[in-house]
Structure 1
Amino acid sequence: MKRKDKKIVITLLSVVAILIIGGMFVPISVSAPSDTRTIIDHTTQTYAAPSCFDEAEMTNFLQETTFGHAKSLDYDAESSCSTDFYTQSDVPIFFAMLQLFGLGEQQWSEEDRL
């Protein structure tokens, strides 16, 4: 390998290492997958997590659907319980990317999905 090629390889490896290390410390918020079970109230135009339903103040015009559908309707979370359920805070970027590719653990289990 030529000296110039070695410098390029070392520079690229250094950049990748810095991105990986930085990604382990920079936190972001991650939303639930779009196929996560959700209960929507068409009257109040809100959604609730199934685990928050007993405390939710919802009418009888309900539908069980997905989180993606509720967001596409531009409905709001019924309470902070639902907001907390559908958002995972302070996840390092590196681990969020692993979750995106199905390699990392998420707070939402298969039972939470439709």
Structure 2
Amino acid sequence: MKKGWLIGLPAVLVIGMIAAMFIEVETEPPGDTRIILERTHSTYIAPPCFEHAETTNNLSETSLAKAKELHFKPESVCTTDALQPQKQSLMNLLEQKIGLGKGKWDW
């Protein structure tokens, strides 16, 4: 076995990890993001926006994917803004995917 591999592989891994801290990717909220449905008005509300939302008693909870499947619309600009794509480092995204970090839409 060549010694170059023993030195080269860890070096490549370290360089890759450092690069992942600086490479930014744009992510959208996942389909399983928790959303509140306002069924009377056929709108959905992001949980951080619920306190200021105009609602009736006809509420339920579901995922963003289901709300879009039902053709519900965002209740307010607050909800639209809360669900905007965000830029984050590749490292942060990987941490979220393996469960070591929280994402913007983990409410």
TM-score, structure 2 normalization: 0.64
- In structure 2, runs of 5+ residues without a counterpart are none
Contact 2:33 2:105 in 1 (8 A): no
Return 5+ residue gaps in structure 1 as ranges.
Answer: none
Amino acid at match of 1:64: E
% identical equivalent positions: 34
Number of residue pairs aligned between Structure 1 and Structure 2: 106
Q: For residues 11 and 72 of structure 1, what CA distance do their matches in structure 2 show?
A: 49
Deviation, 1:17, is: 1.6
Q: What is the aligned-residue RMSD (CA, Å)?
A: 3.3
What does residue 7 of structure 2 align with? Answer: 10
Of the structure 1 ranges 94-103 and 13-22, higher mean CA displacement relative to structure 2 is found in: 13-22
Correspondences of 1:24-103 after superposition (within 5 Å)? 24-30=21-27, 31-32=29-30, 34-36=32-34, 38-40=35-37, 46-53=43-50, 55-56=52-53, 63-73=60-70, 75=72, 77-87=74-84, 89-103=86-100
Query: CA 1:16/1:56 → structure 2, altered by over 3 Å: closer, same or farther?
Result: same
Q: Residues 11-67 of structure 1: CA distance to partner in whole angstroms, max 9, x if unpaired?
A: 32232222211110112234257152x123568764321332455567887543122
Secondary structure at 2:17 match in 1: helix
Letter in 1 for 2:32: S
Q: TM-score, normalised by structure 1?
A: 0.61
